[in-house]
Amino acid sequence: MKLATALKYVNKDIQRVEKKIKNVTKAESSMIQSASNHLLTAGGKRIRPIFVLLASRFGQQNQERIIDVAVALELIHMASLVHDDVIDHSMVRRGKPTVNKQWDNGTAIYTGDYIFARTLELLKPFKNHRLHTVLSNTIHQLCVGEIEQIRDKFQLKQNHFTYFKRIKRKTALLIESSTQMGAIASETDRSVEYLLKDYGYNIGMSYQIMDDILDFTSTEKELGKPVGSDLLNGHITLPTLYAMKDDQEVLGGVQAYFNEQEYHLTIEDVIHRIKHSHAIEKSYNISQRYLEKANQTLEQLPNNEPKKYLDDIAQYLSKRRF
């Protein structure tokens, strides 16, 4: 498994990231600590810290500082997840009850807000304000994306442009920030920083499109949620956009579902139809195109060990099944 070799390469640092994540809320009020620990110890792929660590190896190493950036990126991601769980009324995350389920919405919201403030505090030793400019812009775009996702829920009038804009804000920018902030924190050349930033962006776009494909092609067991959840929740993703364009039955089915009208196909039939349509392949090709762009960017980076692992991660993400 290629991800495993990349993980092995940064394993020691990832362990330090894990340790720091656990310590980040130590010695604070007991409720904040319980709720944060509940959230932070649930695990995860730690994709963002891995990108920070690998990108940082293109520059000068100040390992303690780099670890702080890696932790900060993961914490921002987790703070957004705990709020997402409130918004989506989610009951389970990674096999554990969500904070809102275990306690209530208020606890989840204040935990997220606290973690956000704690994250910014972690970056205090950095005097380079570009690090903050990049992160703050990303967080802001993430929030705009979330508001627009709610606005567009169950709205049929969407297109490829709105979809790409949405996934850029939702996923790609945070991965882009991970590689760019790793580069800034290790003071790489500006040219290397921008290449790493582009790599992160393209990987993030490819990753999210794959996620949207897997929402149709995986099983409920693999996903931990019903197949076609995005569509069931009113979100139009790339496979649905292609399928609606190619197949009037899909268009009619989605339209009827969104408008709560009768139709001869149920939404489950529509999901089945999308799953077995060319829309999946078309979406996959777009995902691959972003991956190719990421690889082209990689080629321009200096030849070193971390570059090989960035390539491995790209390949792993393109082939992942869930």
Partner 1 sequence: MINKQAEQIRKDFIKEYKHPSIKESFYDPVLTVKQVYFFQKLLLESDYKQKNDLFKALIHMQISLDIHDLVDLEFDSIEENRNQTNQLQVLVGDFHSSYFYRLLSEHNLLDELYHFIQSIKSINEIKMSLLHQDEIKIKDFNKLLNQVETVHCGLYYSLLDFCQMNKYKNDVEFELIKELVYHIDSYWLSLLKSREPAIEQAIDAKINYLNEIIITNRR
User: Residue numbers of the site for partner 1 (CB under 8 A)?
Assistant: 28-29, 31-32, 35, 80, 83, 86-87, 89, 104-107, 109-114, 116-118, 120-121, 124, 127, 129, 132-133, 135-137, 139-140, 142-144, 146-148, 150-151
**Closest CB to partner 1 among residues 260, 305:** 260
Q: What is the dihedral of CA 166, 168, 173, 176, to 10 degrees?
A: 170
**Closest CB to partner 1 among residues 176, 311:** 176
Q: How far is the CB of 148 from partner 1 (least distance, A)?
A: 7
Q: Residue 73: CB partners within 8 Å, gap ≥ 6?
A: 48, 49, 51, 52, 174, 177, 178, 181
Contact predicate 88/78, CB 8 Å: no
Q: Are strands 92-93 and 96-97 parallel, antiparallel or unpaired?
A: antiparallel
**Closest CB to partner 1 among residues 85, 212:** 85
Q: How far is the CB of 131 from partner 1 (least distance, A)?
A: 9
Q: How far is the CB of 303 from partner 1 (least distance, A)?
A: 34
Q: How far is the CB of 10 from partner 1 (least distance, A)?
A: 28
Q: How far is the CB of 223 from partner 1 (least distance, A)?
A: 22
**Closest CB to partner 1 among residues 121, 268:** 121
Q: How far apart are CA 251 and CA 147, in angstroms?
A: 25
**Closest CB to partner 1 among residues 105, 288:** 105
Give Dmax over CA atoms of the chain in angstroms.
62
Strand boundaries in the chain, DSSP class E:
92-93, 96-97
Per-residue tokens: 315? 């390949």
